[in-house]
Structure 1
Amino acid sequence: MPELSRRRLLRAAGGAGIGLLAAPALAACGTSSATPMRSGRAQIKFWTHDPDYIETFQTAVKDNSLMRGSRFNFGLDVTSSAPADILTRLIAQAVADGDTPDLVGVNVDQFPRVMHASIAQNLFVDLTDTVRPFGDNLSKLDPYTVDGAPYGLESGAAITVLYYRQDLFEKYRVSEKVDTWEEFLEHGERLNTDHKVSVGMIATGDNGSIVNGFLQFLLQRGGGLFNAEGDLILDSPEALDVLEFMARGARSGALLALPDPYSSACAAALKSGRLAATAMPDWYKNAGLQTNVPEQKGRWRIANLPRFAGGGHIASTMGGTGFAVLKDKSNSVAALDLLRRVYLSREGQILRYRVGGYLPTLQPLYKDPELVASKDEYLDGQRTFDVYGPAAADLPVFHQAAGMHILTDVLGGPILDALKGRTTPSAALRAGLKAYRQQVKR
């Protein structure tokens, strides 16, 4: 298909609604090609939204042991922007056959934008052959997989654990090993009644925060929003169980209602001790606790999540960034070599953990002596891999679909209504499902 026609289709795909374009039409189109460079100086155009990723890759290209044996001498030209802006600009530049990156970090919440009309297939290198040698040892490919092919490598496992104030748990006689969420809520109800203290939080602000909080519990319970084929699976006993649990927690005060986990209200709750625990991913220690309550160093600990009585996992996940290589560019081979070294080697994954705090996505590393022996000073010297190891082995699978943004928009309001007692959990889920199916025909 001529390049002009491809650009017209890609332009339409970038702005049109899901279902307005036929995926086979884009799949049949080629991309503009360039002679791939096979060795020598590779100045990689690198786009990301997070300074920690910049520092990680800048450190990696200077690490002689990590780069040993590469045919390339790497440099980085860095562009930093907001997650949504990165993908918008990337698609616009691809449409114009303009200045696209060689290596790009796509926020997990943004990736569904390229999951329809063969956009991912036209933009990114298919990583199937790259990841095949790792089999089931490589986690969190599913959120960046389209039609069975992965197009991004997750930066960190983003394992959700229970953060808790050890001193407050001791003061208020809360066991550090509570078996179920249902039992945990009973402690929270008592603490809220007696001391105005909560043992978790729920988001009540924007739709993204609301749905992400619900999804984090839903994945742990063993449910999901979509299956591997992209079909909606929200109409499930697990979804109802989770929303009833959240509504009960909100009603009793065991779970503190906050705009989002990063708001000033959340910071105030942490500082005052009103929030004594919360289920959040590993990255929340840096983004939430150390940022807002550095003076509480030594008081916090982590533990695996209590299970739901109805079943599920001891861990969950939320957030992440997948790094993808742009296809058919002169630096595509070099960018893939760099990504392999930083993301698919023991040395690269340990470097990522040391520099940016990113938990490994290679399962065997949770038994690596160097990581197992590591201690976290903010958590009073706790050996965190004693917690992360079992959690990584029981991490739920997370699938996305092209309709993820629509579902987030239509589901946030009904969930909020259920949390605030304006409707029942079952009615909220029915409303969200009905609104989604009216907009997306599958």
Structure 2
Amino acid sequence: MLRLGGGVGAAAVLGGALSGCGRAAEADPVTSGTVDLSFWTHDQAYVDFFATAARNAEAAGDAPFRWRLNPTRAGAQDVVTKTIAQAIAGRGTPDVAGLEINNFTRMLRGEIATELLEPLEGHLDADVRDDLLTVRTAPFSKDGHLYALDSDAPLVVYYYREPEFARASLPTDLATWDELAEAGRRAHERHDVAIGAVAVGSDLTQITQIFDMLLMQRGGRFFDEDGTLTIETPEAEQALAFLARGVQEGFLTTVSDFYGPAMQAALKSGQLIGQWMATWYKIYGLMPNVPEQSGQWRIRPLPVFPDGGSRTSFTGGTGFAALRAKRNTLAGVELVKAAFLTPAEQIRRYVDLGYLPTRRSVFDAPELLRIEDEYCGGQRMVEVYRDLIDEAPVFYLSADRPILDTVLSGHLLRAYHGDSTPAQALRDAAEDFRGQTRDHD
């Protein structure tokens, strides 16, 4: 039941259990001194980053605490599952937890976030609050409260392999998706290459993610701020029509997922020479799969849809939260602030991890703007990101996102195969979604 906590029924049970015991024993907070802090995350890189941030803050004398991290690593889903389970048990919750954005949706069910997580907005100075990117605070907020600080501002850009674009006579500066699609269709017929890939494997989140990126770019979204489903729109139909056309005409290829052997084979063989994806994909997708292609890749803004939208989108992120009503709650809040909010640490996070700043002012930092990326041929990538950040779309999470991933993924595949039109696929997905959520109301 706990592992399925993203579902309506299970999460409702969890919420009820938390409501019964979550506020029973609020501890007096530690306000200074040495603190042993339980720190849960899915990624060792975060452990290392926070440990260094703690040392830096102590050396600078910027914090009243000396943190000694006791890290626990688990899968992104398991971090949330185990946090909720330990809260129900009434013991053993982490002091700080990194909540990957797709799994954070489970915290939005009922009062789970309210019961478990410390609201952060009251701990932030006004100038910092005003400088934080709304596009990165909105997904981790509920009912006016900010429950986690995002580790990244993962803008979606278009990666392209420059020598292969030249070999296929593909321009690298086409302004619209329609123009790139037509050029890509011709290149596919002549050179058997693809300008992008869609996931069609067992990871339902990856299937819907690639559509979600283009939908947000076009100006749509899966959910409104109040959690209402919004996929039956012209924007959604246009985004899906592009994907379906691409698969059927061959200028988009299909892979089981974006990180495994199928993607690696497509990249290594030169079949796949472009992909829209988040800024972190260079580190987690391209560099591990095709290190030998260093120097060949570049990034650019996304081509636009002719009917409107922006030149970028968002996907991914991990919010770090402090657990409420614990002795170490304040120490946890201050660690997250020290690691994620100071300009120096925001710059170091990009240098060490490739994650973009979440404070708008840091995009203008000369130290970032002058970095030349070796893998991308010496390109000054932050210049591209700075040009796009103010166009980034705001998106909202819903506790029902796991249900949507389940029902929508199958209908996307039907549209790719030509078994339904984009409009019909979206109508059927919306009907299935409403049926499943209605059953649990």
Structure 2 SS opposite 1:216: helix
Partner of residue 229, structure 1: 226
The amino acid of 2:43's aligned partner reads D
Partner of residue 169, structure 2: 173
The amino acid of 1:178's aligned partner reads L
- Which residue of 38, 42, 65 maps to 1:72? 65
Contact 1:209 1:260 in 2 (8 A): yes
Q: By how many angstroms is 1:171 displaced?
A: 1.8
Encode CA deviations 1:279-333: one digit per residue, 9 max, x unaligned: 0111110111110111111101111111111111111111111111000111111
> Structure 1 length as normaliser, TM-score?
0.93
- State how far apart, in whole Å, the 1-side matches of 2:273 and 2:351 are: 28
- State how far apart, in whole Å, the 1-side matches of 2:14 and 2:88 are: 16
Contact 2:132 2:360 in 1 (8 A): yes
Pair 1:137 & 2:134 matched:
no
Over 3 Å counting, the alpha-carbon distance change for 1:12 and 1:194 in structure 2 is closer
- State how far apart, in whole Å, the 2-side matches of 1:21 and 1:352 are: 34
Encode CA deviations 1:181-233: one digit per residue, 9 max, x unaligned: 11111111011111110001111113211111111111111100111111111
- State how far apart, in whole Å, the 2-side matches of 1:28 and 1:100 are: 13
Once the two structures are superposed, the pairs formed by residues 159-308 of structure 1 within 5 Å of their partners are 159-206=155-202, 207-308=204-305
Contact 1:228 1:399 in 2 (8 A): yes
Q: By how many angstroms is 1:133 displaced?
A: 3.5
Q: By how many angstroms is 1:86 displaced?
A: 0.9
Contact 1:31 1:122 in 2 (8 A): no
- State how far apart, in whole Å, the 2-side matches of 1:264 and 1:72 are: 45
Once the two structures are superposed, the pairs formed by residues 111-122 of structure 1 within 5 Å of their partners are 111-122=104-115
Q: By how many angstroms is 1:62 displaced?
A: 2.0
- State how far apart, in whole Å, the 2-side matches of 1:27 and 1:136 are: 36
Structure 2 SS opposite 1:105: strand
Structure 1 SS opposite 2:102: coil
Partner of residue 403, structure 2: 406
Pair 1:103 & 2:100 matched:
no
- State how far apart, in whole Å, the 1-side matches of 2:371 and 2:380 are: 6
Structure 2 SS opposite 1:211: helix
- Which residue of 149, 153, 174 maps to 1:153? 149
The amino acid of 1:274's aligned partner reads Q
The amino acid of 1:179's aligned partner reads A
RMSD: 2.2
Contact 1:192 1:254 in 2 (8 A): yes
Once the two structures are superposed, the pairs formed by residues 88-99 of structure 1 within 5 Å of their partners are 88-99=81-92
Over 3 Å counting, the alpha-carbon distance change for 1:15 and 1:303 in structure 2 is closer
Contact 1:19 1:440 in 2 (8 A): no
Over 3 Å counting, the alpha-carbon distance change for 1:336 and 1:407 in structure 2 is same
- Which residue of 323, 326, 331 maps to 2:323? 326
- State how far apart, in whole Å, the 1-side matches of 2:30 and 2:176 are: 55
User: Unpaired segments of 5 or more residues in structure 1?
Assistant: 1-10
Partner of residue 397, structure 1: 394
Between the two proteins, what is the percent identity of the paired residues? Answer: 38
Q: By how many angstroms is 1:136 displaced?
A: 4.9
- Which residue of 33, 45, 53 maps to 2:38? 45
Contact 1:52 1:356 in 2 (8 A): yes
Q: By how many angstroms is 1:28 displaced?
A: 11
Pair 1:437 & 2:431 matched:
no
Pair 1:60 & 2:56 matched:
no
Partner of residue 80, structure 2: 87
Contact 1:27 1:118 in 2 (8 A): no
Contact 1:200 1:275 in 2 (8 A): yes
The amino acid of 2:132's aligned partner reads L
Contact 2:21 2:90 in 1 (8 A): no
- State how far apart, in whole Å, the 2-side matches of 1:15 and 1:383 are: 45
Over 3 Å counting, the alpha-carbon distance change for 1:238 and 1:272 in structure 2 is same
Q: By how many angstroms is 1:18 displaced?
A: 6.2
Q: By how many angstroms is 1:66 displaced?
A: 6.8
Contact 2:121 2:129 in 1 (8 A): no
The amino acid of 1:113's aligned partner reads R
Encode CA deviations 1:49-73: one digit per residue, 9 max, x unaligned: 0111111112212225775221111
- State how far apart, in whole Å, the 1-side matches of 2:42 and 2:319 are: 12
The amino acid of 2:25's aligned partner reads S
Over 3 Å counting, the alpha-carbon distance change for 1:12 and 1:180 in structure 2 is closer
Moved more, 145-154 or 427-436: 145-154
Q: By how many angstroms is 1:385 displaced?
A: 1.0
Over 3 Å counting, the alpha-carbon distance change for 1:12 and 1:430 in structure 2 is closer
Over 3 Å counting, the alpha-carbon distance change for 1:74 and 1:248 in structure 2 is same
Encode CA deviations 1:45-97: one digit per residue, 9 max, x unaligned: 10000111111112212225775221111110000000111111110100011
- State how far apart, in whole Å, the 2-side matches of 1:238 and 1:347 are: 39
Over 3 Å counting, the alpha-carbon distance change for 1:224 and 1:40 in structure 2 is same
Encode CA deviations 1:344-390: one digit per residue, 9 max, x unaligned: 11012112112211111111111111111111111111100111111
- State how far apart, in whole Å, the 2-side matches of 1:13 and 1:233 are: 20
- State how far apart, in whole Å, the 2-side matches of 1:321 and 1:69 are: 25
What is the number of residues matched between the two proteins? Answer: 432
- State how far apart, in whole Å, the 1-side matches of 2:326 and 2:199 are: 42
The amino acid of 2:33's aligned partner reads G
> Structure 2 length as normaliser, TM-score?
0.93
Encode CA deviations 1:226-262: one digit per residue, 9 max, x unaligned: 1111111112111111111110111111111111111
Contact 2:155 2:315 in 1 (8 A): yes
Moved more, 359-368 or 132-141: 132-141
Once the two structures are superposed, the pairs formed by residues 297-376 of structure 1 within 5 Å of their partners are 297-376=294-373
